[in-house]
Amino acid sequence: MTATAPSSSARSFELHAGALRLALRPDLGGSIAGLWHRDTPILRSTEPASLVASRQSGSFPLVPYSNRLGYRHFRWKGHEYTTQPNFDDNPHSLHGVGWLRPWQIVSSSTVEVVLAYKHTADADWPFDFEASQYFTLQPDSMHVQMVFTNTAAVAQPAGLGWHPYFPKRARSRLHIELSNRWDSDATQLPVRKVAQPGIDSDVSHLAFDNCFEGWAGPARIRDEKFSLQLSSSLHHLVVYTPQDKDYFCVEPVSHVSNAIHMADPAAHGLRTVPPGESMEAWMKLDIAVL
């Protein structure tokens, strides 16, 4: 039952469950402005009225591809395609297009909201598609599902994911079970796969900007405020732990960065979605207050 009737193009929308508050900015890439337990941020959080770009958000969707598309071009089904710059002077296109476009509110209640984005082929992505995000907030968790549908007349490559940012606190610790790590070149494209059975460390000791394979079980994030478990239907993970920032990222993704340029993109998680068909993914964050 709809408890609120926001405009489909509303700039912000909030969900409340117990002591949790989830603030969204549909107009800024369908992003999460913030997630709080009372006044304490769980994700990197900004009051929605103060957020000016999805890059400053608590999380944004990755659609129709994750992370980097090498040198802003790719070959697909015998055709060459290019994409335009979308991240300062970076030589690659980053994070897809959904995070840079306004989404619409389709339906909502106090604990659930559905956002939708309809893409028409353009210089950022050469195929039509539609995407929806389904947010559900409970007193101890946040769940997000994303559905991608190919509305083009031809099959297209596709991948999904999310880019959550977590506050780096004094005792932030990360535990993840993995199998492999992709090391990158100077432009952050993956070039070599090496064994990495997992991560179990204080975040302050880490310096990753890598994609990992074989993600098994939840990623556990613990600090002096919260014990978090991040789980997903996706089996790749991007971990970004810049030592000079007050945040870190643990990103569930469907495929290795730049998979479209690899010899076997499907083996690295990239999907081929026929016309009219869909792919979907979910992410859940379980929250325990310490």
54: phi then psi, degrees, rounded to nearest 5: -65, -25
Say whether pLDDT at 107 is over 90: yes
- Average pLDDT in the 117-145 region? 99
Strand 40-41 and strand 73-76: the pairing is unpaired
Q: Are 119 and 131 in contact (CB under 8 A)?
A: yes
Question: Quick one: pLDDT at residue 7?
Answer: 57
Q: What is the CATH number of domain 13-289?
A: 2.70.98.10
Averaged confidence pLDDT in the chain: 96
For residue range 152-162, list pLDDT tens digits in order.
999 999 999 99
For residue range 27-63, list pLDDT tens digits in order.
999 999 999 999 999 999 999 999 999 999 999 999 9
Residue 217: pLDDT band with limits 50, 70, 90? confident
Q: What is the Cα–Cα distance from 69 to 259, expressed in whole angstroms?
A: 8
Q: What is the Cα–Cα distance from 111 to 8, expressed in whole angstroms?
A: 17
- Asked which of 9-23, 165-179, 245-259 is least confident by mean pLDDT, the reply is 9-23
Residue 11: pLDDT band with limits 50, 70, 90? confident
Handedness of CA 200, 203, 88, 26 (dihedral sign): positive
Residue spans of the domains in the chain: they are 13-289
Question: Quick one: pLDDT at residue 1?
Answer: 31
For residue range 220-243, list pLDDT tens digits in order.
999 999 999 999 999 999 999 999
Q: Are 270 and 157 in contact (CB under 8 A)?
A: yes
Contacts of 236 (CB under 8 A, 6+ apart): 66, 161, 211, 212, 213, 215, 252, 253, 254, 255, 256, 269
Contacts of 123 (CB under 8 A, 6+ apart): 82, 83, 84
Question: Quick one: pLDDT at residue 2?
Answer: 40
Question: Quick one: pLDDT at residue 216?
Answer: 85
Q: Are 254 and 269 in contact (CB under 8 A)?
A: yes
For residue range 248-290, list pLDDT tens digits in order.
999 999 999 999 999 999 999 999 999 999 999 999 999 999 9
